[in-house]
A and B are shown apart, each in its own frame.
Chain A
Amino acid sequence: MLSVSALMGSAALMTMSDDAKASTEWAEHFQKNYRLMTDEEKAEARTRLERRYSSEYGKKVAVDTTGPQPGVLMGYALNVRKCIGCRRCVHACVEENNQSRGTRPGEKIEWIQVLRMERGEFSKDKMNHGYPEGLGIQVGGNAYTPAGQVLEGQYHYNPEAVPEKDATYMPIACMQCEKPPCVKVCPVRTTYREADGPVVIDYNWCIGCKMCMNACPYWARRFNLTKPVLPKEEMNPVTHYLGNRPRMRGVVEKCHWCLQRTRHDRYPACVEVCPVGARKFGNLLDPESEVSKILERKNVFRLKAELNTFPKFFYFYD
């Protein structure tokens, strides 16, 4: 099987016309899992990638390899009361993280999903329309309404203006679980939890088996069905190896809390554009950080807490 896969690798490479590019990809094909690389190998992989990306996107691209900073455990909090469902975070994320933005179905990838949830209404004229109607077990007193039910949300809402009076909004992205099920199921250990919190992926090691996508209870992972469509001028040249560097066809990607920013003490892109300040990010080990203050002062909950994934992403409300 080893030889077969190597053979297919070479076959795939033979279809590339460019020799220099092919040789780079050849070297990339045989590089190790990022976590097992020595510092020299990391530096090598980094220069290799920088060279390839720079020529591919026509500008100087930096691939950062900064590791976890001591004393930092990243945490996130989101004020569901504040969110107005404007989706600015979704698009900021795309600008920052070099997702595919093509037009064919499947070529457009967004890591954040915003659910619009109906407030619902309990009205007099619906009294006999509830569930379980018709079985004769219960009549009346039962005006079924989907209020507050996450699985009843809308993803493609598109009103003139938000927030709407009859709706609440619930953004969902990777929860960077303390006990991530995706990490457990990965057969090649390409996805793992970094020492400062985020769950990351070594895109070069991912085999695209999609088991992590089955395991994630938050539907945080996306699959690159084809080579990502990333126009040169829109490409963000400040990248991190485990973060927003351009991905390749056939690998899984997801939110990593903007590692290229947060490893250098900058807020994630979604936090910075949220017009209502619903998104909060900080160091859980620092009692003065906003997330620590929120955990200390506000009512928080973790999404699907019953699954014991222990997200480091908290929802709160004031």
Chain B
Amino acid sequence: MQQLISFTTDYTRYVLKGGTKFYAWMGSLALLIVGMMYVFYLQNTDGLIVTGMTSQISDGLYLANLVFLVGVAAGAVTIVFPAYVYHHEGMHKVAVLGEMLAITAVIMVMVFVFAHMGRPDRLWHMIPPRGIYSFSSMLGWDVMVLNGYLILNFVCGFYYLWCKYTGNPVNQKWFIPLVYVAIAWALSIHTVTAFLMANNPARPMWFHSMMPIRFIATAFAAGPALIILIFLVIRKNTRFWVDDSAIKLLTTIVQFCLGIAIFLTLSEVVVELYARTEHANGLYYLMFGLHGLTGLVPWFWSSLVLMVGAFVMFFMPSFRNDFDKLRIPCAMAFTGIWIEKGMGLIVPGYIPSPIGEVTEYHPSFVEWLMVLGIWAFGFFILTILLKGAIGILLGEIKHGGPAAAAK
């Protein structure tokens, strides 16, 4: 107990210390978070009418980001898996950072769940014993696996940090099995999210069995792409050194998964547009517009260009080996997949409506601010978690205070 209190205080004290750059970063994030809270207040007094959602397009940016971030959370497994299954040295060193990212992404997903709901004040209706849990609902399953993943990552991540902090050895007996469970669980969260969308025959855009694998492929491209970017920031701004081998392996994973994602996208295009049934209307709207309405066309093509461009760049040694230039294809892949899963997958599921009404989605300022705010919130948490974790890994936070650390 004594140790736990000192862990908390040491952790907090370390995280709160920082230079001007740190405070400026956290301050600007906090500003966006305040903006998010304000629009959340608007959404829960005036209602979702302040967003661009309608009865036709009943979900938009929020669900899109939710789905995307579940992917990012699952993507963290690309670190944990090589680290613990293949005992990759470089990865093993940073595995806990991946877990921190997973925690952050799941928390962001939950905030997005709150944001897209009409009545977040009634969320307890889902939770027994007062509420009702429905096993037939994919959303119910999604909430369950996400919470499970959050707990798993929290336990694994912080237990590891705790051991480092106290200097005790990690209890392999239950830690390693738990890590394996977490790895399998990572696949489950994104699969269930894919089922959440795909199990709707009413929406032909989503109703195909390729959805889960496409979700996993894009997640394992976007997640590690973000991780590479974060690692490069860490290498630049802290004394913590992420091994080249880790980044190299992640680059390979991003490239392979990105290739699979592009392949799957193009397969879908061919299958849907060859026969061009009315079930392809959503995809057709996305690619070329429907009834003269072309709101999503630029999104689709820009996403395709970004993804293919990034894929090609990953082939070039000049990008692959130069970690300064590596940022470009990583950012491109990340953005491309964000568009593909959001504006390119969620929104065209609603256009046309199941009975053929074509309307367009115009996200409002409130929605953009909310999205921005939640991302800021995510980075806020991530900064804290990573800073604390790095502090412990570097040995700057250690049981017994600075004296012990200095030893």
Contacts and interface: CB of A to CB of B under 8 A. Distances in A.
Contact of A213 (B55, B122, B123, B278): B55
B119 A217 contact: no
Interface stretch (B82-90, B125-133, B153-161): B125-133
Interface string B266-307: 000000000000100100000000000000000000000000
A227 interface: yes
A207 B122 contact: yes
Interface in A149-163: 149-153, 155
Interface in B99-134: 110, 116-127, 130-134
A120 to B, nearest CB: 15
Contacts of B139: 185, 187, 209, 211
A226 B227 CA distance: 40
A37 to B, nearest CB: 13
B118 A223 contact: yes
Contact of B120 (A5, A221, A222): A5
A207 B123 contact: yes
A152 B54 CA distance: 21
A208 B356 contact: no
B172 interface: no
A249 B48 CA distance: 9
Contacts of B353: 219
Interface in B54-113: 54-56, 58-59, 110
B143 to A, nearest CB: 7
A259 to B, nearest CB: 21
B121 A29 contact: yes
A292 interface: no
B324 interface: no
Contact of B137 (A29, A187, A222, A226): A187
B354 A225 contact: no
Interface residues of A, number: 61
A222 B45 contact: no
Contacts, number: 172
B119 A207 contact: yes
A153 B281 CA distance: 14
A214 interface: yes
Nearest to A222: B55
Given A107-B49, A185-B137, A249-B47, A207 B126 contact: yes
Nearest to A172: B355
B201 interface: yes
B201 A223 contact: no
Contact of A190 (B125, B196, B349, B354): B125
Interface in A30-81: 32-33, 36
Contacts of B120: 5, 8, 207
B166 interface: no
Contacts of B46: 226
Contacts of A4: 123
A151 B355 contact: yes
Contact of A155 (B49, B53, B357): B357
Interface in A1-41: 1-2, 4-6, 8-9, 12, 15, 29, 32-33, 36
Interface in B180-238: 196-197, 199-203
B357 A225 contact: no
A93 interface: no
A218 interface: yes
A224 B353 CA distance: 18
Contact of A5 (B58, B124, B133, B201): B124
Looking at A2, A115, A208, which has the most chain B CB atoms within 10 Å of its CB? A208
A215 interface: yes
Contact of B118 (A5, A181, A250): A250
B259 interface: no
Interface string A172-184: 1000000001001
B140 interface: yes
Contact of B48 (A8, A29, A155, A225): A225
Contacts of A252: 118
Looking at A107, A153, A187, A251, which has the most chain B CB atoms within 10 Å of its CB? A187
Contacts of B202: 181, 214-218, 307
B351 to A, nearest CB: 12
B352 interface: yes
A239 interface: no
Contacts of A106: 49, 54-55
Contacts of B281: 151
Contacts of B44: 8, 12, 250
Given A187-B134, A208-B117, A250-B48, A9 B122 contact: yes
Given A8-B44, A8-B121, A207-B123, 17 more contacts: A36-B132, A105-B54, A106-B49, A115-B355, A152-B356, A181-B200, A187-B139, A210-B118, A218-B354, A219-B353, A222-B55, A225-B55, A249-B119, A250-B118, A251-B118, A251-B119, A307-B201
26 contacts: A2-B124, A5-B124, A12-B45, A15-B45, A33-B125, A104-B49, A106-B49, A107-B49, A115-B355, A172-B355, A187-B134, A187-B140, A188-B132, A188-B134, A189-B134, A205-B122, A206-B118, A207-B126, A209-B139, A214-B59, A214-B202, A218-B354, A223-B58, A225-B53, A227-B47, A252-B118
